[in-house]
Structure 1
């Protein structure tokens, strides 16, 4: 193996040896100006033996850099697995880019189990933090750490598939983001680093992938990926790996076509997400209560049961309540949302609420425009921001984000129209 050291411009303490293991030293030219300083970066040919790393490891703290730019991601994935098997205590850091056309490489690194990602588009201070963490040193902070907080967790539980809980969740999420967080919307020339992590839509409903479909976004980082990397979820990963709608809403869900079944217990993941976001809205439409992890039910601040007036739905609502009671989750957190309300459609929403002893949170009118917009890859917010369906979401918005209560309902519609005007909605 050949070794090509590069001196850096700013000294880094404590002393650390950085070794790029790759088929060629080409990446060193890009790395050099971005790395924090006083260390030497060596190149070792990845086609050689890992024994060559022993000399670097004897010299002190050694961190191995792996090229996870999109073009090298597949080869580096194989190399990562080899090093994890042969030298399990070796500190490995993926080098990649969060540029839209390079994000595949970052996702591949996460799937390979790498905890630390060196973003070529990040500031030197951020790169320094990543390297210090990988090398076991505490990062130097120029400001006090942000105080820990615990986001509100709201479960939207459609009592059976097809009652419209996914449609409700995506509209509610984008609308809450736009009304409550004016800086949340992405613009063509906005700095992604300035985007907030105010609202997350966690889509665990069935059929899988409906939220991404309705939002007209492509997702490469999914729920299973997040579970595998739960301990390293932070604001940076949320910003770089998770899908963000042009309206500012962050989405984490399952890939379309995933088979239904018990949901993997997300206790650690949800705890991390609640430390990153201000609000987590979890959509569980079509998921039987018995398949929902108890940790998710126990940790929720509120549980909204979404139903319509159909007799089959009411039977499903009764079953869901019996199952929640058996799990000890039939309590004051439960509230009823009657969707697709038709005055001539059967029992009135108040009658349904009384029949099942539930507080009625909201009644949403039947809206043909919702289906028409979805068929064109749009949200109703884009096509008809003054529609009565959106107005009917007011009680849900106030419960989802109590900070919005003072701004609703007076003037919110005009505020929304102004926000949506000029918003660069994505189309595939």
Structure 2
């Protein structure tokens, strides 16, 4: 999971959420609880490996919050609870401490004070949550700024290659929706949105009966093909679902191709272990993906375990793959051939390239990439950005001036 800490905020005040979020921006991710019930907060804390829970009190009447704090501490005595209020008197302070809260903070306090308190309460070794996350499946995300067939094609073949050695889930959330299912010749009435709506029912039986299943044994869960803009779910829902899926699969391959400038994308990438950036050997593709990587860095998404894969690669044409990877400030993981006829056959037949064209350069390269990702081989040192980076930067600057 993400190396950043996760904090839960229990408050109805958007002003309080904004203040806490800005104060803790460099320390971790703040996730608002979607329900002030003890059961839901504990479920969310387990799902995201929460480091601290912030509970805002109304000094005039805090009976409900007091019961909530008692419930949280009874269920998870090692999880620190910090109380937030606009003002504190002696009676309120005594009550808060008797409930078991570790400390209190006044609303609107300086960010440095909030950060100092958080650092005091979080163990230097990362606490119990970090060791627990290591026991669950690993998530590898395929991202690209450009929608199309390349991302689902790579994601599904990575998943198929890994499935040969470990139980694997292909989570296809990219744009356009549902392409991976079509490429594999699968149909399923159960979607990612359905899984969000039935969080408490996610178990082996539901996975076996509701999720798509390829003959190789690969499990597939996709966004519905029709519009899902009306679907209502929270950040907490997504975190809980990913946590549940990690328990059932050793590996999850997550297709996020075509998703840009989205809080949903940031949320998902904050919960993955590896990121594969898929780019083409062209200035437009590099330009758009550089903007995506810049956005992720600005939003402090960890790119520690991120590498570049250059698709439709022609070794005799500039720029070369190493130069492209250097332009992103990321290591090169692999190159993939165009293999146009083999890809088209897969898209139209419902059979994978491993079945139709096992000796195709694309198939061979994806298998090697899957092995590298699973084994966690060390990535080479990243060289300084080269000429391609300067070229793309110059083109972007000219377009912005225009």
- Shorter-chain TM-score above 0.5: yes
**3-state SS of the aligned residue for 1:299?**
coil
Give the whole-Å Cα distance in 1 for the aligned partners of 2:338 and 2:231.
31
**Residue 245 of structure 1 is aligned with which of 203, 208, 214?**
214
Q: CA RMSD in A?
A: 2.4
Change (3 A) 1:148 1:337: closer
The reply to whether residue 172 of structure 1 matches residue 144 of structure 2 is no
What is the distance in 2 between the residues matched to 1:299 and 1:225? 20
Structure having the higher helix fraction is: 2
Match of 2:310 in 1: 338
Name the CA distance, whole Å, in 2 between partners of 1:346 and 1:353. Answer: 13
The alpha carbon displacement at 1:317 in A equals 1.1
Q: Which of 285, 289, 295 is matched with 2:267 structurally? A: 295
Q: 2:250 aligns with which of 261, 264, 278?
A: 278
Cross-structure match for 1:155: 141
Deviation (angstroms), 1:229: 1.1
CA contact (8 A) 1:261 1:291 kept: no
Aligned to 1:387: 360
Tell me, in whole angstroms, the C-alpha distance in 1 between the residues paired with 2:136 and 2:269.
16
2:336 partner SS: strand
TM-score, reference length from structure 1:
0.53
Q: 1:376 aligns with which of 349, 365, 373?
A: 349
Identify the structure with bigger relative contact order (alpha carbons < 8 Å, sequence gap 6+).
Answer: 2
Question: 2:223 aligned to 254, 276, 279, which one?
Answer: 254
Deviations along 1:191-233, one digit per CA (max 9) or x if unpaired, are xxxxxxx100011101101011111100111001100111221
- Mapping of residues 401-420 of structure 1, within 5 Å: 401-402=374-375
Instruction: Name the CA shift for 1:354/1:384 in 2 (closer, same or farther; >3 Å).
Output: same
- What runs of 5+ residues in structure 2 fail to find an aligned partner? 1-132, 378-402
1:308 deviation in Å? 0.6
Structure possessing the higher radius of gyration over alpha carbons:
1
- Aligned counterpart for 1:323 among listed residues 291, 295, 302: 295
Distance 1:219 1:233 in 2: 16
Query: Quick check: 2:195–2:202 contact (8 Å CA) kept in 1?
Result: yes
Q: Deviations over 1:276-309 (max 9, x none)?
A: 1111111001111434343322221111111111
Query: In structure 1, what is the equivalent of residue 319 of structure 2?
Result: 347
1:16-415 counterparts in 2 under 5 A?
A: 149-162=135-148, 164-178=150-164, 180-181=165-166, 198-258=167-227, 264=233, 265=235, 266-368=238-340, 369-402=342-375
Gaps of 5+ in 1: 1-146, 182-197, 406-428
3-state SS of the aligned residue for 1:361? strand
CA 1:263–1:166: 2 relative to 1, 3 Å: farther
Q: Offset at 1:382?
A: 1.6
| Contact 1:263-1:291 within 8 A present in 2 as well | no
* Deviation of the 1:372 alpha carbon: 2.7
Question: Do the aligned residues in 1 keep the contact of 2:152 with 2:179 (CA within 8 Å)?
Answer: yes
Deviation at 1:262?
Answer: 10
Q: Measured at CA, do residues 345 and 148 of structure 1 come closer, stay the same or move farther in structure 2, by a change above 3 Å?
A: closer
TM-score (norm 2): 0.56
CA distance in 2, matches of 1:257, 1:234: 26
Aligned residue in 2 for 1:112: none
Whether the aligned pair in 1 keeps the contact of 2:159 and 2:252 (CA below 8 Å) is: no
Q: Distance in 1 between matches of 2:149 and 2:216?
A: 24
